[in-house]
A and B are shown apart, each in its own frame.
Chain A
Amino acid sequence: MTRNAKTALIPSFQRPVSRVVIRSVASYEQDLLALIYETLCEFDLPLRGKKVLLKPNLVGPDPLGVTNTHPAVIAASRESLLRLGAEQVLIGEGPALDRDTEAILESIGLRHYAGPLAGVFVDLNVDDVEKVLLKTTASRLKELYLPKTVLGADFVISMPKLKTHHWAGVTLSLKNMFGIVPGSCYGWPKNVLHWAGIDSAILDINAAVRPDFAIVDGIVGMEGNGPIQGEPKNSGVLILGDDPVAVDATCCRVMGLLPEKVRYLTQAGILLGHIQPDKIQQLGESIASVRTPFSVLDNFKHLVDTSAEFGTQPALVG
C-alpha cells in the first residue's frame, strides 16, 4: 500500500476544486522565503509534525541555472515548511543521467543555500527500496521498486522547473516524479520507463505516488529542446498548488500551450487531478498577465495555443 493510496485516484467529477497560485517573481534574488511562506499559509496545509519530502528536478551541472530547480527556491521552500511546523523536511532526488549526484549538488551550490546536506538530502537513486504493485495499467509495468524515503513521507511536494521536453512535450510536476524511480534499480537513464512509454509511465508513477503539492520554478524556465539542451526562458513566475495536474495545466497555459493536447496530462485529468479551467481556482496573478509563450520543437507544434482568447480561460478566479 503506497502512502496516499486512498487519495491518489479519484474520478475528476468527485474531486474537489483544485487551487493554484501564480506569483510573479522577477529574480532569484527576491525574498523567496517570505513569498513562498505566505503563499503556503494560504493553503492551510496539514504539515504540523509531518515528514515532508521535497522533490526538485536536478538533472545535471547547470552553470546558467536553466536546467535544474534553482537552489534558492528549494531552500526557501524547505525553510517555509519548517516554519509551518513540519517535523522533518528532506530534499530527495534521483538524477536521471549522471550518477554522481553529489557533483550536481555541488555544481548548483545547494549546500550554500540550504546548509549542510548530510541528513537533509537523500539520493533517491540509491535509497533503500520496496516493491510497489502499481494500481494502474497505463504502461506494461506491473510493479516498481521505489525509495522508502518517498513511500514513508507524509507529504510529497514535486518541485519541477518550467520546461519543455523533447519527448513528452512538457516536463512539470508529474514528469518530475520520474526522479523518484531509483537508478540503482533501473539505471542511468531509467530506460525501463522509456521502453514502457514515457506518457504511460508518468501516469503509473503518479498513481503510485501522487504528489500532495507542487511548487514550480518558472522564474527562469527552458524552452525548445528541453529538458537539458533547450534555451533559457525568463518567465518570472512561481506556480504553486494542491493538485499537481492542475498546476501542470496552469503551467502549460502560462507557457502558451494547450494542456488538453499534452497526452499524459489529458489522461491524468481523468483520475489524478483537474485540467479543466472550471475546476481550478486560480489565485494570485492571472494567467494572462504572466503568459510567456514557450517555443517547442516541431513535433510538438500541435500543443501551441493560437486562440485569441488565450489566458482568459480559468473560470474561477480567486
Chain B
Amino acid sequence: MIPGNQGVFAPQSSSGARGGVIASAQGQSQSASFVESVCLPKLRSAQNDDGGWGYRPGSQSRVEPTCWALQALINVAAVEVSSEACHRGLQFLRSAQLPDGSWPFAAGQEVGCSVTAPACWALLSGKNSFEAVAAGLNWLSQDRPQDSVFWRRLLRRLSPARHRSRQNSAYRGWGWNPGTSSWVEPTSVALVVLGLCPKELLPAGANERRQSAEAMLYDRMCPGGGWNCGDPLVYGVPGKPLVIPTAWALLALRRYPQRPENLASLDWLAGKLPDEAGPGSLALAQICLEAYGHKWPATAHRPDDLYSNNEFLGSITTTAWVCLAANSRRSWLTGESGEAAR
C-alpha cells in the first residue's frame, strides 16, 4: 500500500486475479501491437501547437482530451514528463486553469466544471504541478450540486412529482456543470481522483465529501446492478445501465469489492460486453474488470478489434483509453505516479 493515498486502489487479491487477469497473452500482445502501431502515433501527431489536444485530430484544444492523451503518453508510451510533448501538454493544462482553481470545458468559458477532476489527475501524473492540483481539489470540495441543497430537497418533497423518482438527493456527488445536479460519471471520476491523491493535497472535509458521494452512487445504481448516467428509476420504470458510467462507478467504489452492489454490477458489466460495439466502452470496461481481477469475457471484442469499423470516429479520448486499457501498468489508476513525485 502506498503511504498517504489511503490504500484506496490497492490491488485486489481475489481468485479471479490468480486465475489469469483479463485475457489471453495472444490478445494482449495484439492489443499492445495495435497501440504501438496505430494509437500512440495518432496521439503524438494530433498534439496542437498550443500543446493541447482536441477531441479529434486538428480540432480545438480542450481540457478533457488533453488529460487523456497525456495519461496515455506518460503511462503507456513512457514518455518522460520532461519531454517536449508532455511539457507542452502540461503547460496547456496549467494555463487553462481558472483563477478559482477549476478548469472549463472549452477555452473562453469563465466557469469551471467537471473536467477539473481529470485535469488534476493528469497533472498528478505529470508530477510537478501540485499547487495547481491542490487548487483544483479545493474547488472540487467547494462545488455543491444544487439538487442536494436543503431548500431544493424540501421543494422536491412537497412537489406532486415527488413519486416519479426514488433517489435520495441528500447525498452529494458532483455535476457536469456548477449549479446543476449530481451525476454518476463526474462523481465517479472525482472520487477516483480524491482516492489516488496524496493525503496532504486533500482539502479539509474531503473524506466526508467522499462518503456522501459514494452513498450517492450506491443510491443511484440501477435495479439489478450497473449505472446509467444517474437516473435509475423514472416513472417507476427501471433505467437501463450503460457501460461507461458503470465502469466509472465501479472504479470509484473499488474499495468495497465485496459489496453486493459491486458484485451485481460487475456481473451486469461482464454480461453486457459480448454485445458491446463501442470501443470507448470496451476500453473502460477492460480497465474496470482488470481492476477487480476479473477475466475478459471470451466472447467480447477487444477495443482494438473495432478500429476498422469507424477508426474510433477519430476520437482522441477513445484512442487514449484504448492505450491505457491495453497496458498492464496501472500506476495512473493507483496513485503511484503522484506519490513517486513527492
Contact = CB atoms under 8 A, between A and B. Distances in A.
B102 to A, nearest CB: 14
Contacts of A103: 243, 276-278, 280-281
A118 B281 contact: no
B318 interface: yes
Interface in A84-135: 97-107, 111, 116-118, 121, 123, 126-129, 131
B109 A185 contact: yes
Contacts, number: 126
B185 A102 contact: no
A97 B311 contact: no
Interface string B220-243: 000000001101001101011011
Contacts of A99: 185, 244, 280
Interface string A209-246: 00000000000000001001100000000000000000
Interface in B49-82: 54-56, 59-60, 62, 64-65
Interface stretch (B25-33, B132-140, B174-182, B251-259): B174-182
A184 B244 contact: no
Interface in A184-225: 184-189, 191-192, 194-195, 225
B235 A184 contact: no
A184 B62 contact: yes
A145 interface: yes
Interface string B234-276: 1101011011100000000000000000000000000000001
A297 interface: yes
B280 A102 contact: yes
Main secondary structure of the interface of B (DSSP, over half): loop
A166 B234 contact: yes
Contact of A117 (B105, B244, B310, B315): B310
A126 B314 CA distance: 11
B183 interface: yes
Contacts of A126: 55-56, 65, 315, 317
Main secondary structure of the interface of A (DSSP, over half): mixed
A225 B176 CA distance: 25
Nearest to B281: A100
A81 to B, nearest CB: 22
Contacts of A192: 176-177, 180
A191 B183 contact: yes
Given A145-B106, A195-B179, A98 B244 contact: yes
B104 to A, nearest CB: 9
Contacts of A225: 234-235, 237
Interface in B157-186: 161, 175-177, 179-181, 183, 185-186
Given A185-B109, A191-B177, A191-B183, 18 more contacts: A98-B244, A101-B278, A101-B313, A102-B278, A102-B280, A117-B313, A118-B313, A123-B55, A123-B315, A126-B56, A126-B315, A129-B106, A131-B108, A186-B177, A187-B183, A188-B176, A192-B177, A195-B179
17 contacts: A100-B242, A103-B280, A106-B278, A106-B310, A118-B311, A118-B313, A121-B313, A126-B56, A128-B59, A128-B60, A184-B55, A191-B175, A191-B177, A192-B180, A195-B179, A225-B234, A229-B239
Interface of A: 60, 97-107, 111, 116-118, 121, 123, 126-129, 131, 145, 166, 184-189, 191-192, 194-195, 225, 228-229, 297, 299
The 9 closest A-B pairs by CB, nearest first: A187-B176, A103-B278, A106-B277, A126-B55, A100-B278, A191-B180, A185-B105, A229-B237, A100-B281
